């Protein structure tokens, strides 16, 4: 290579000397003309290789089934490589052209070398971006934090590139430079603290499958409640349901507590767990006349008949005195209401009958007796879930009056009760 360059640029000076130019003048004229020739050849090299590389890559992209080469084209990888080739040619030519100009040879050699390093990093970056885009299109990698890994690789490459540039610019031995960097590693760690923490967090998040792109998460500390749209080295972006965007530090995913709703969305139902408060004073035993009226409620008419038969048999067997309702076994309006709600839920089409479904009484409170619905809707979508839950409780609140029960409200005077 060196011999070829000497033949290419070394013929001009002897020729000028033969036609009676002075040594100094011949040296300057040959230098200027060689620089012009170098620039011209570098430009021609760039045009030729750009045409060849871009054309070949475009042809390959059209003929292959994979989308990776299309992404290389869209990320302009071929153009960057076409830029690199003429600068390698210039870098090799500078020592030949500036052979008698040591200072300028050193300066331009370093500048061109630095540009080649930066351009090489840019080419690697474009290839990594193409790899990132390609992996994101693959179903098994679409929810993985690919951006984090690409950023880590680029940070390592940039650190190495900056080290090479410094060693080349100041003529520092690489081993000496590495020793110096080791001495100031504490400062480097301090500067890149968030990056290091983010990298460790992204690795743990990925290995433990804690968060994927597309997951619905709730992070109360940062006011985030929505879908994860991006996982980077330093941040996780969440698009909230009000269309705002919350940015969360990646390392917070392993240092703080958050809720991931993926398990619920992947399951067969979304849990409904809500209660109403029934005024304790309105709960009482039912008389036979009241039970006869309630038999008109179709969902519990058969149940009332069966329970009345069981209770009457029990009371006769043990000769129970029924002058007082408290004696023996009886039905209450609250118990009958619970059974009605249970039957209603079992017949409601929006609930998953293969999962837990119950209507239960909770620990009494100062505000009343909680009656809780614990069930799972078939549809996990937010709008349908809210509709199903509202529809169920609309019916519960409207039907409670038929059982002579009252809902608790503040203030607790009777005029403010429903039912």
pLDDT, tens digit, for every residue of 169-216? 776 666 666 666 665 666 666 666 777 777 777 777 776 778 888 899
Residue 324: φ, ψ to 5°: -110, 130
Q: How confident is the model at residue 143 (pLDDT cuts 50, 70, 90)?
A: low
Report in angstroms the alpha-carbon separations of 121 from 84, 85, 166, 172, 263: 11, 14, 15, 21, 41
Instruction: Measure the CA–CA gap between 168 and 106, rounded to whole angstroms.
Output: 10
pLDDT of residue 4: 64
Give the orientation angle of helix 193-207 with respect to helix 146-169, to 10 degrees.
Answer: 140
Nearest CA among 196, 238, 189 for reference residue 214: 238
Write down the pLDDT at residue 89.
80
**256 vs 397, more confident:** 397
What is the longest distance spanned by two Cα atoms in the chain?
A: 144
For residue range 84-122, what is the model confidence (pLDDT) as tens digits? 888 888 878 777 777 666 777 777 778 888 888 888 888
């Amino acid at each position: 290579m060196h011999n070829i360059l000497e033949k290419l640029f070394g013929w001009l000076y002897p020729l000028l000397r033969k036609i009676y130019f002075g040594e100094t003048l011949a040296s300057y004229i040959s230098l200027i003309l060689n620089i012009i020739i170098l620039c011209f050849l570098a430009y021609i090299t760039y045009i030729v290789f750009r045409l060849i590389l871009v054309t070949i890559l475009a042809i390959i992209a059209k003929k292959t089934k994979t989308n990776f080469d299309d992404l290389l084209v869209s990320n302009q990888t071929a153009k960057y490589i076409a830029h690199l080739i003429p600068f390698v040619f210039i870098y090799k030519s500078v020592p030949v052209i500036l052979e008698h100009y040591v200072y300028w040879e050193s300066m331009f050699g370093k500048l061109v070398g630095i540009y080649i390093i930066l351009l090489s990093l840019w080419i690697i970056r474009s290839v990594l971006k193409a790899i990132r885009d390609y992996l994101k299109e693959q179903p098994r990698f679409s929810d993985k934090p690919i951006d984090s890994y690409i950023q880590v690789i680029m940070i390592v490459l940039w650190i190495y590139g900056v080290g090479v540039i410094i060693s080349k610019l100041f003529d520092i031995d690489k081993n000496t430079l590495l020793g110096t960097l080791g001495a100031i590693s504490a400062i480097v760690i301090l500067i890149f603290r968030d990056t290091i923490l983010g990298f460790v967090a992204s690795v743990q998040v990925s290995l433990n499958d804690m968060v994927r792109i597309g997951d619905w998460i709730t992070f109360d500390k940062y006011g985030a409640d929505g879908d994860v749209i991006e996982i980077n080295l330093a941040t996780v972006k969440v698009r909230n349901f009000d269309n705002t965007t919350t940015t969360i530090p990646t390392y917070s995913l392993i240092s703080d507590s958050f809720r991931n709703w993926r398990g619920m969305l992947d399951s067969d139902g979304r849990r409904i767990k809500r209660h109403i408060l029934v005024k304790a004073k309105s709960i009482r035993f039912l008389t036979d006349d009241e039970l006869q009226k309630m038999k008109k409620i179709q969902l519990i008419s058969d149940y009332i008949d069966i329970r009345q038969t069981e209770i009457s048999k029990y009371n006769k067997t043990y000769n129970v005195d029924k002058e007082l309702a408290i004696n023996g076994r009886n039905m209450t309006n609250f118990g009958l209401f619970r059974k009605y709600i249970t039957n209603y839920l079992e017949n409601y089409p929006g609930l998953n009958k293969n999962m837990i479904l119950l209507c239960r009484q909770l620990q009494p409170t100062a505000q009343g007796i909680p009656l809780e619905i614990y069930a799972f809707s078939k549809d996990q979508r937010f709008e349908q879930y809210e509709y199903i839950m509202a529809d169920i409780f609309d019916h519960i609140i409207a039907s409670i009056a038929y059982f002579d029960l009252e809902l608790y409200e503040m203030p607790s005077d009777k005029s403010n009760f429903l039912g």
